[in-house]
Amino acid sequence: MLNIFARASVSRVTDPIGAVLVRIGLTPNGMTVIGTVGAVGSALWLFPTGHLLAGTFAVWGFVMLDLLDGAMARARGGGTKFGGVLDSTCDRIADGALMASIAWYALENAERPHLGVAALICLVLGQVISYIKARAEAAGLSANVGLVERAERLIIALVGTGLQGFGVPYAVDVALWLLVAGSVITVGQRLVAVHQSAAEAT
């Protein structure tokens, strides 16, 4: 949902940066890989050991690099089909690592199984939400709707870990269970959208 309203504003900021990065010799695919490796490494290193605040800022910083690969692709005249697949694949890896690391923290460090369950549910639903859209588009259908898309999932999860890192009790719990609810709604929205798109195509 945020993607629809924020894309133009974000592009005005990231496009000049992307052009500079291209001029110094970096590639969009390289930036995608750097951001993914950094986000995965930060999440799996910091969250399970209880460093929630540091993990939040580190993961957020590397995730922000994901905005630059698109800007760099535009600076080069457009992205490639491989770049699009790589970007989507790396997004799934980073998202999975984030939720897995929170589950690891909950089960190992905090000894809170219910929080771990919420994180694992979010991990699965996040992958399903993305898969529905990808599978629909591959079939020539539309599923471009959703209350909780990738941007919202990252914001909600990282706001929760950040507040918990600042000492706000149960912030992660509230964030993840809200995310579970929003993700369930989003799965339903996308399935309905695909059904409607399929009916219109017949």
**Of 87, 91, 95, 173, which residue is the catalytic one?**
91
- 87 catalytically annotated: no
Nearest to 35 by CA among 70, 8, 15, 59: 59
* Rounded distance between C-alpha atoms, residue 83 and residue 62, angstroms: 18
Q: Is 125 exposed, middle or buried (0-12, 13-18, 19+ CB in 10 A)?
A: buried
Q: Catalytic amino acids?
A: 91
